[in-house]
Amino acid sequence: MAQESNHTNEPQANIGVVGLAAMGASLARNLAHHGNTVAVFNRSHARTETLMREHGDEGAFVPADTLEEFVASLTRPRTAIIMVKAGAPTDAMIDALADLMEPGDIIVDAGNAYYEDTIRREKAIRARGLHFVGCGVSGGEEGALKGPSMMPGGTEESWKTLGPIFRQIAAQAEGEPCVTHIGTDGAGHFVKMVHNGIEYSDMQLISESYDLLRRGLGMSADELADVFAAWNEGDLNSYLIEITADILRHKDAKTGKPFVDVVVDRAGMKGTGTWTVQTALSLGVPVTGIGEAVFARGLSSQAGLRAEARDKALAGPEPAAVLAPIAADPQARAAFVEDVRQALYASKIVAYAQGFNEIEQAAAEHGWDIDLGAVAKIWRGGCIIRARFLNRIADAYAGGTKPGSLLFDPFFKAAVEGAQDSWRRVVARAAQAGVPVPVFASSLAYYDGLRSRRLPAALIQAQRDYFGAHTYGRVDEPGVFHTLWAEEGREEIKQS
Ligand code: NDP
């Protein structure tokens, strides 16, 4: 069905993809598999040729040699999906397309973009009479080919054109497509960013569980593969738990050792976790679990400092020695494994509660009408954090209900209450044994902070007033107060 390069300038493709590296080529093939006629263009023509040679018979493609030819081959409203390198290349491609397109046409940026950039780009493109849609796409290359989770922003009008197409190509979860119109301008990329932040948290929590059981209880990688496989049958069922079991079972071909033991313990990152935390800081929303997960990767990558710490032999307990009595008693051992499972579950609920709070806060700030239940639903398939438990989050936000925090929803409230004894034991034992569990611990601290009737913030505010005259409120009287903290004759002044 592949067609010759579109030298006739006859419009025939209902959608086009610009950028045919891993993601773009997969997305173009996915679109073609669903009956779309797909115009394809890449800066260096070799990629277009490779796509046509290797997959041209999978559907209707219209390869273009030039961007002009590409645009001319699209039917109206012309719809072009950009999948090029994030940053300046994306800006350059948006500009080049906008110069060739006409009012009413739609430019979709399906690459990774910081939502503020998407807001800026949308504004500029809207001023030219075109639609600009920033669309978060999760699931990597395989997801792009077989069905990603898609988070489009942009106008309602552009969604009328894109909706039917995106619903075809998105992942399906329980019969529903994993795509919804998230909100205007940067809303889609914002939600994708928070998705990635939650992913950081989830991965760190799984790794903390692994570390405690491996170093603390001395369990083998194979035993742990069984533990994670068993956890995957219950409340924790998710893609990340499933692949963890698979990774832990995998043996290195060269050495025969568990694969995880030959991988350098340095976790990389591309920036979306950092964006999630930076944005949360500026919104004033605590996303402590995500923050600790980002910092944990940062610490892992401080190779020089870690080597120096080893040289200096920073003292601390030996995890296996501290937890030896538990490891030696089969009943205590099984109970501890269950405690870790519960701690993981409770901490994971906190990670989602914090992530959804960040989305809610940003929505209020930017005037986005985001359906949080729909967000939970579209994360059930195609993306990295896909998990059974997202159904429960969708229920918590069903019908536009806003529980304030997921932790207030009756299901999650009961789940955390049921898990909290285990959670506390795990955090305490990890501290005693010297195993770092920053996300378990910070999530528990967040939970306790949230439920505390009085916080020591009272003392902080008093300190602020003492050294900086920053004023305070009183519990027994409305108004703003300042105390004159001179040693003699301290006096309180009501300022308003
Ligand atoms: P890359 O991010 O590696 O980008 C390569 C593509 O960008 C090639 O088609 C390349 O063209 C094109 N390109 C680079 N610079 C320019 C330029 N100045 N002008 C025009 N085209 C340019 O490709 P991926 O497929 O990995 O990712 C595409 C987008 O999707 C990125 O924004 C990425 O962040 C995002 N993304 C990636 C995921 C992944 O798992 N890889 C997951 C989700 C999103 P050429 O062949 O001529 O060099």
Tell me the C-alpha distance between 368 and 351, whole Å: 22
Q: Which amino acid is at 413?
A: K
Dihedral-angle region of residue 367 (phi above 0 means left; psi in -120 to 50 means alpha; beta otherwise): left
> Which residues have any ligand 1 atom within 6 Å of their CB?
19-24, 42-44, 47, 83-86, 89, 92-93, 111-112, 137, 140-141
Q: What is residue 9's predicted lDDT score, i.e. its pLDDT?
A: 54
CA of 474 to the centre of ligand 1 (A): 56
> Ligand 1 test: best mutation among 23, 99, 146, 199, most atoms within 8 Å of CB?
23
Give me the phi and psi of 128, to 5 degrees please: -95, 5
Tell me the C-alpha distance between 111 and 123, whole Å: 18
Give me the phi and psi of 34, to 5 degrees please: -100, 25
Q: What is residue 489's predicted lDDT score, i.e. its pLDDT?
A: 85
Structure tokens belonging to residue 278: 């930076």
Residue 363 · residue 183 · CB < 8 Å = yes
Tell me the C-alpha distance between 230 and 213, whole Å: 15
Q: What is residue 8's predicted lDDT score, i.e. its pLDDT?
A: 53
Residue 137 · residue 110 · CB < 8 Å = yes
Q: What is residue 401's predicted lDDT score, i.e. its pLDDT?
A: 76
Q: Which amino acid is at 63?
A: P
Tell me the C-alpha distance between 59 and 5, whole Å: 15
Tell me the C-alpha distance between 35 and 51, whole Å: 17
The active-site residue out of 49, 146, 157, 199 is 199
Alpha carbon distances (Å) from 239 to 54, 191, 245, 312, 387: 30, 19, 10, 40, 6
Active site residue 199: yes
Q: Is residue 310 exposed (0-12), middle (13-18) or buried (19+ Cβ within 10 Å)?
A: exposed
Of all protein residues, whose CA lies closest to atom 42 belonging to ligand 1? 140
Predicted confidence pLDDT, tens digits, the chain (496 residues): 444 444 555 779 999 999 999 999 999 999 999 999 999 999 999 999 999 999 999 999 999 999 999 999 999 999 999 999 999 999 999 999 999 999 999 999 999 999 999 999 999 999 999 999 999 999 999 999 999 999 999 999 999 999 999 999 999 999 999 999 999 999 999 999 999 999 999 999 999 999 999 999 999 999 999 999 999 999 999 999 999 999 999 999 999 999 999 999 999 999 999 999 999 999 999 999 999 999 999 999 999 999 999 998 899 999 999 999 999 999 999 999 999 999 999 999 999 999 999 999 999 999 999 999 999 999 999 999 999 889 999 999 997 777 789 999 999 999 999 999 999 999 999 999 999 999 999 999 999 999 999 999 999 999 999 999 999 999 999 999 999 998 888 999 999 9
Cis peptide leading into residue 77 (ω within 30°): yes
70 DSSP β-pair partners: none
> Ligand 1 test: best mutation among 44, 85, 135, most atoms within 8 Å of CB?
85
Q: Which amino acid is at 226?
A: D
